[in-house]
Amino acid sequence: MMSRRAARGQKLPPQEVEYLNSLPKDLMIFRVKLLFDEGWPLDAIGESFPQTRTRSTIRSWVVRAGETLDLDAESVFIDAPIPTPRLKTSDDGYQKVKPESPKIRINDLEQIQLLAPQARTFRSRMASTSAPAVANQRLTTLCKKLYQDKVGIKDLAEAAGVTYRAMYKRIKL
């Protein structure tokens, strides 16, 4: 699977905005997914509506259209091709700025998966010697150590079965 590159800071062409707003809701949502897949940012798509839509709304439409993908629906748009955003670099010369995260070692992964369910039950009013409190502290220590070793927050969150934001808060506190 090739990663999607968004054309940040670009606006949809005026003719695409007009066309998008003229479509019925179900076709509009499918068109939004095609625009997103082409590389248009969620912000640019959301700002193209008379009543601006948030990125989260547009994202939910993209997910919904992906789940109910009808292959014949794409043929509806043959007369109106999807505009392609202009990327700052070509695909040949593009290199990710952020280095790849090293993978979590198997013993650390097992430890995270063992501690995470118990740490999730921890509440601040619990005794510091309770099993959830100890598990919470051990998980935090382990995750901070791995983060210092350049393991990404996304990888840690997936291993623990929590959101990116929850892991970010655990590491940054």
pLDDT value at position 26? Answer: 82
Mean pLDDT of 53-80: 75
Locate 107 and state its tokens.
């013993």
pTM (two decimals): 0.51
Cα–Cα distance, 6 to 162 (Å, whole number): 26
Q: At what angle do helices 164-172 and 131-148 cross, to 10 degrees?
A: 90
Alpha-carbon distances, residue 116 vs 51, 60, 74, 125, 166 (angstroms): 42, 28, 43, 19, 12
How many Å is the Cα radius of gyration of the chain?
22
pLDDT value at position 145? Answer: 96
